[in-house]
Amino acid sequence: MRGHWGLSRLAVSGVVACSICACGGSSAEPAGDAGRGGDVAGSPAATGGAGAPAAVGGRGASAGAGAGAGGLGGAMMAAAGSGGKSAPPYSGAGHSAAGSGGKPAVVSASAQKTFPVGLAIGSPVAVVQSASHASLAPRPGLLRRARDIGRAAHAALRQGDLTRLLRVGGELLPVSKASAAPSDQLELKALAGAVEQALAAGPGDALDLMRFFGSSGNANCYGPSMSYRTHQDESGGMSSGQLPGGDLGLWLEREGPAQPCVAAQLNRRIEGVKGQAQQGLLLMAALRRQVEMSSSLSLPAAGSSTDVTAELETSLHMSPKAATLDVLSATIALDADGKVYTYRFAFDLGGTGAAARSGEVVLRHKPGATATEYSGVLQIAGFSLSMDQARGCADEKDGATGQYEIADVSSVRYGRSGQTLSFSSRSGNYCGHPSSAAAVSFASEVATFDSDGELDPTVKLMPPMPPMGGGGGGPAAFMRAGVKGWIGNFSRFAGDFDLDTVEGDFLYAWQAGTQDNATRMLALDTQYDSALGDRSLQGFFGFGADIASSDGKLQGLICNWAGPGNNHTPKPLFQSQTATMAAGAMDFVIPSGGSKIRYAPTNSCSSTTTGFDADVDHTIEAMEGEGVTADLDAPSGSKTVAEELTARGFALPTLF
């Protein structure tokens, strides 16, 4: 038996060596990663090749000359006319427009150097369906892949794991396995590919400016509204009642039949900022491309600007979705030092009265030494009207309709170094509208930004009376009184991740009201096994400090946020879920014991006399909820919750 395993090791090692040598023409790996563009021409989800990813939180090692997600050094995903500038800017046909030459549209070196290629805000754990069954899976550089396969084979041999060894061997097959891949892709990577597609061939059908005015919410598995009775923490008040939605954490293990609740909640919470950021980036890409395609426009010299308003409006009107769009301003400026480009796009959607909507996008981009080195900040604002008193300020109303003037504002600070992208997004609800369509900065008239260009969570408005008005009249109206502060739903989302594999760490924190004094926090660590194509995630939920002062550390769990006798001091506990996704699968699978989320809505997190609707079927059965013992996660030894997460592999994102 010992000799048999020895022969197997030699055989596997030989195959790995052969695989390394075969890069010049093997069907298992394309010749050279750096020049490979998107595998699927015309697909918004297609991404190009990359060399070995740079380390994220200590993972992997830099090798190869990969050009990054989306195929920076290779062909882009859509086709354009021969000669570069002969193709129409936007065909309105989505992501597969082609010019007469039939050649792939290519993002020029100049555009790559002056635009944040690879940037997107999206979910690292949501899977989207691509347009083709061709390979869309991450393809790390050849050296990294060979190294990972060799390590996986060696580990399987040491452990006597024949099943895993056979899987590793399958990854080395010349064509049938090594070049086959599923038709799925992670959302974060697909969104970045769509932006790069817009930079190469225009935004097409991906443009949807109504996303400027979207909102986020909670997954069904998270924080349900819940009835309770004979609450054990009641002292002289109502022992029965209804807990409001949004306060109970990860309550059901899964969203639907398969999705882990921690992943579902992240996906749902980032909907608003994801929509704003994606549409903002698409518009910035369209603005940059307009200069590229025009025979009369060019990038500005240091200390000057280029006005693209007329030409860009004409191009955008070719899309039915933007037929009534009024482009108020579209410019690119370069500072006096010639280091920072400022893109600005201001628009009006053409509605009147209660349907009036306008917006602004500002991108301040600082290129580095190469196209894969850059930093900057994106600011997005959408302005509309609302009758919801909780969304507006009494002194910021539209004179014609009497409705509240409201603003949804976001910022995205970012930095890229090789294959590692770091980002920090912030978003919130604000009061007011720009003073005029000619204002030079819409967002800064209603919101406060810090020295880095990010929304400042410390500037917030307080309602002039308790949140619930007398006689059950609903939330009190805010008064802005010249203060540019947020009034609700402030969130922070940050991440450090590998652009090719989307392996990394992500943290999302949110606070519904300015007086909550605590954040809800989701922390995710994602891993990618390049040898087998498997993914894994660790997800954690808990409470942290007020969003204005949060350092990104989970402090613990508050089990009774809104019930009788509630106590808002976090207990040294947290909720956790682990899950894996096999290569080619569409869903994460939670292993047995992979969820530590059960508790009772009481100060102790367990229940004695408290009855509650534990299964969320809107009925409290006899004895339901009583005698529940918490099954939550906890730090080991003397560690804090934050220290425990670090010990398990989670690293606080750099820009949070």
CA distance 211 to 171: 41
* 263/348 same-domain check: yes
pLDDT at 43 over 70: no
Ramachandran quadrant class, 338 (left: phi over 0; alpha: psi -120 to 50; beta: rest) = left
pLDDT tens digits, residue range 409-435? Answer: 999 999 999 999 999 999 999 999 999
Residue 177 shares a structural domain with residue 249: no
Query: 50 with 145, same domain?
Result: yes
Would the pLDDT of 80 be above 80? Answer: no
Backbone angles phi, psi at 440, to 5 degrees: -80, -20
Do residues 225 and 197 both lie within one domain?
A: no
Residue 218 burial by Cβ neighbours in a 10 Å radius (0-12, 13-18, 19+): middle
pLDDT of residue 637: 95
How confident is the model at residue 377, as a pLDDT?
Answer: 98
What does the pLDDT look like over 499-527, one tens digit per residue?
999 999 999 999 999 989 999 999 999 99
Q: Is the dihedral of CA 428, 429, 430, 434 positive or negative?
A: positive
CA torsion 251-253-259-262 (nearest 10°) is: 50
For residues 165 and 236, membership in a common domain is answered with no
SS3 289: helix
Q: Is residue 111, in this structure, part of any structural domain at all?
A: yes
Give the best-scoring range by mean pLDDT among 152-156, 158-162, 174-178.
158-162
Statement to judge: residues 595 and 489 lie in one domain: yes
170 and 131 part of one domain: yes
Q: Which residues pair with 22 in a beta bridge?
A: none
473 CB-contact burial (10 Å; exposed 0-12 / middle 13-18 / buried 19+): exposed
For residues 174 and 26, the answer to whether their CB atoms sit within 8 Å is yes
Tokens encoding 621: 């059965």
In this structure, the answer to whether residues 118 and 234 fall within a common structural domain is no
pLDDT of residue 91 exceeding 80: no
* pLDDT classification of 536: cutoffs 50, 70, 90: very high
pLDDT of residue 319: 85
The pLDDT, as a whole number, for residue 492 is: 98
Query: What is the rounded average pLDDT of the residues 334-362?
Result: 95
Domain presence at residue 348: yes
Tokens of 645: 């997460």
Helix axes 162-170, 2-21, angle to 10 degrees: 20
The verdict on 134 and 242 lying in the same domain is no
The model's confidence at residue 323, banded by pLDDT at 50, 70 and 90, is confident
Radius of gyration of the chain (CA): 26
Strand pairing category for 420-431 and 595-598: unpaired
pLDDT-derived band of residue 320, with 50, 70 and 90 as boundaries? confident
Domain match, 519 and 546 both: yes
- Of the candidates 243, 263, 247, the one whose C-alpha atom is nearest the C-alpha of residue 255 is 263
Rounded mean pLDDT, 219-233: 95
Q: Mapping DSSP to helix (H, G, I), strand (E, B) and coil, where does residue 189 land?
A: helix
DSSP string, 403-438: PEEEEEEEEEEEEEETTEEEEEEEEEEEE---S-TT
Residue 598, SS3 per DSSP: strand
Tens of pLDDT, residue by residue over 566-612, are 999 999 999 999 999 998 888 899 999 999 999 999 999 999 999 99
Q: Is residue 158 part of a domain?
A: yes
CB 140 within 8 A of CB 55: no
Specify burial of residue 203 (Cβ count, 10 A radius: 0-12, 13-18, 19+): buried
Distance (Å) of CA 516 to CA 43, 113, 544, 585: 44, 43, 11, 40
Global confidence as pTM: 0.79
Point out the domain boundary residue: 149, 176, 206: 206
Contact 520, 541 (CB under 8 A): yes
* pLDDT higher than 50, residue 56: no
Say if residue 392's pLDDT is above 50: yes
For 269-319, the pLDDT digits (tens) are: 999 999 999 999 999 999 999 999 999 999 999 999 999 999 999 999 988
Is pLDDT larger for residue 19 or for residue 357? Answer: 357
Q: What are residue 178's phi and psi, to 5 degrees? A: -65, -30
Number of domains the chain is built from: 2
> What pLDDT does 350 receive?
86
What range does the domain containing 64 cover? 2-206
Same domain, 202 and 223: no
**Which H, E and C letters describe 223-268, residue by residue?**
CCCEEEECCCCCCCCCCCEEECCCCCCECCCEECCCEEHHHHHHHH
Q: At what angle do helices 142-159 and 2-21 cross, to 10 degrees?
A: 180
- Pick the last residue of a domain from 155, 176, 206: 206
- Angle, helices 142-159 vs 162-170, to 10°: value is 160
What proportion of the chain, given as a percentage, has pLDDT over 90?
A: 66
Q: What is the mean pLDDT of the chain?
A: 81
Residue 83 near residue 106, CB atoms below 8 Å: no
| Lowest model confidence (mean pLDDT) among 94-98, 438-442, 448-452 | 94-98
Q: Which of 176, 206, 236 is the last residue of a domain?
A: 206
* 154 and 113 share one domain: yes
User: Is 656 a domain residue?
Assistant: no
Helix, strand, or coil (residue 2): helix
| Predicted pLDDT of residue 321 | 85
pLDDT at 134: 30
